[in-house]
Amino acid sequence: MRAEVRRALAFVVVLAGALAWAAARGAAQPRPRAAAPLGARPVVVASKPFGESYVLAELFAQVLEARGYAVVRRPGLGATQVAYAAVRAGAVDVYPEYTGTVLRAVLADSAPARDARDAFARVARQSRARDGVHWLPPLGFENRFALAVTPATARRLRLRTVSDLARVAPGVRGAFSSDFLGRADGLPGLAAAYGLRLAAARPLAPAVKYAALQSGAADVIDAYTTDGLVARYGLVLLDDDRRFFPPYEAAPLASAAFVRDLPGAALTLTELAGRLDEGTMRALNRRQEVDGEPAAAVAADALRALGLADNRVRATPRPARAGWAGYFWSERGAVARRALRHLALAGGALVAACAFGIPLGIWLAARPRVAAVALGGAGAFQSVPGIALLAALVPLVGVGTLPAFLALVLYGLYPVARGTYAGVRDAGAPAAAAALALGMTPGQVLRQVRLPLAAPAVVGGVRTAAVLGVGTATLAAFVGAGGLGETIASGLALADTRLVLAGALPAAALALAVDGLLALVERAVRPPGV
């Protein structure tokens, strides 16, 4: 027993070492140490997964390209924690961020800010000191959180301010993005500040939130003050009369490596400082979110209007009226490309999970006491939500393919090891005992008796891992690894159901196909006579 525990510990140490090595390599890769000459490496420009962030990131990317810098785009990184961690680790050079968001959600600074300038000064000082990241000068507009209602609701309940809402709150149902529900500078803080007690506060994706408000399933939602969708639905924004929300000035947030290695590029981004007012931004958002124009085209027009660049991007707006099928057909090239990438990611991770998981399961089958601990731990690990695991990996290995790949391997390991372990342990135990007694070596027992009889269970585990992997790979988009999740994420961000379906349906079809294929394999490896 003690020897087994020692061996299990040694195994864990080796595995941890391998992961740490992979992490160190991944983190080191995108950052050349020496001071690079102008444009010596591409600038990694990222965004968060919502419409305005896509447009701002395109503005950054195109103005840099116009000045001769190469740019790598990583749109739609999953929410603030992931994007901020990526900039801190140097895996991303720059992305658009908001002062109040980082003050409250990252730095946990809840002191009220006097004004926008005060908030910027504070967040810039603290981010620099704590995390070594730089705030470049603000772009010129704020995008605050706000509560939105339909004009009819506003009239009926006589709502103008959040205080008005607090007065009638017990009869009002809310629907909010999960981000807003969880953040200290979201609903929890707002409710405390105003004594706001809503009848219900349900988490809904942006795509559904607006529809819920229109259909009367909800009375109030959270929105952004520059939201294109607010204009699309003609909503009324309630005034934050107690000044609860801090200033949310938009500005480029840059990594230390970016400012050090490419000071010229950082300087280029300051050309955008103060050039975008709230009205301009709302108009740009409207073109993307309401008219369905691609972010690249919107950004190119904006740069030309500002006299900063003369880019022309062929504008092929998402056809506003085509049905889902027509839309899908028009996008078939992009969908196929992303589906292939999706398969490559999930398939590669599955191969790696098998390479580790099958030997691990065989090894554990001979050590039931170690197996109970190891598989119990792996099972508990399995319950960590995918997005949380990805967020935890970003500071270690950066963004892109690597964290998504690692997360998928870790998720696949358990079903593969578990299936192999159970199969090898249970399949043909009396036959294996007799074969050993008749003079088979342990290796022969494993190869000629246990593994052939366990094969269906092993493939069953691989099948579970494969289906899980194809599903989980949709989250890879949130760390910039692409795949069908990219389509789903932008669909959710732009409240475009067709986009969501154009990602989700192929993903579901892939999962079914993989499941069916492996079911056939499972039958094929079933030995005769069993």
* Residue 373 binds other proteins (CB under 8 A): no
The site string for other proteins over 164-203 (x = CB under 8 A, - otherwise) reads ----------------------------------------
Question: How large is the greatest C-alpha to C-alpha distance in the chain, in angstroms?
Answer: 89
* Residue 438 binds other proteins (CB under 8 A): yes
* Residue 14 binds other proteins (CB under 8 A): no
Q: What is the distance, to the nearest Å, from the Cα of residue 39 to the centroid of all Cα atoms in its chain?
A: 29
Query: Given candidates 20, 433, 512, 519, which one binds other proteins under the rule CB under 8 A?
Result: 433
And the tokens for 145? 């959180």
The site string for other proteins over 443-482 (x = CB under 8 A, - otherwise) reads -x---xx--xx-----------------------------
Which residue lies nearer to other proteins by CB, 348 or 452? Answer: 452
How many whole angstroms separate alpha carbon 280 and alpha carbon 282?
6
* Residue 385 binds other proteins (CB under 8 A): no
* Residue 529 binds other proteins (CB under 8 A): yes
Q: Is 146 exposed, middle or buried (0-12, 13-18, 19+ CB in 10 A)?
A: buried
Residues with Cβ within 8 Å of 213's Cβ and at least 6 positions away in sequence, in order, are: 148, 149, 150, 175, 219, 220, 221, 233, 235
Q: What's the min distance (Å) between Cβ of 373 and other proteins?
A: 21
Q: Which range, of 180-188, 210-218, 265-273, 427-435, touches other proteins by CB under 8 A?
A: 427-435
Query: Given candidates 18, 355, 434, 512, which one binds other proteins under the rule CB under 8 A?
Result: 434
* Residue 350 binds other proteins (CB under 8 A): no
* Residue 524 binds other proteins (CB under 8 A): no
Q: How far is CA 359 from CA 5, 84, 352, 364, in A?
A: 18, 38, 12, 9
Query: Given candidates 419, 428, 480, 483, which one binds other proteins under the rule CB under 8 A?
Result: 428
Cβ(423)–Cβ(391) below 8 Å? no
Which of 320, 295, 254 has its CA nearest to residue 50? 295
Cβ(177)–Cβ(203) below 8 Å? yes
Q: Is 17 exposed, middle or buried (0-12, 13-18, 19+ CB in 10 A)?
A: exposed
Query: Given candidates 440, 501, 508, 525, which one binds other proteins under the rule CB under 8 A?
Result: 440
Q: What's the min distance (Å) between Cβ of 519 and other proteins?
A: 20
And the tokens for 227? 């939201």
Q: What's the min distance (Å) between Cβ of 528 and other proteins?
A: 6
* Residue 439 binds other proteins (CB under 8 A): yes
Residues that bind other proteins in the complex, under the rule CB under 8 A:
428, 430-431, 433-441, 444, 448-449, 452-453, 527-530
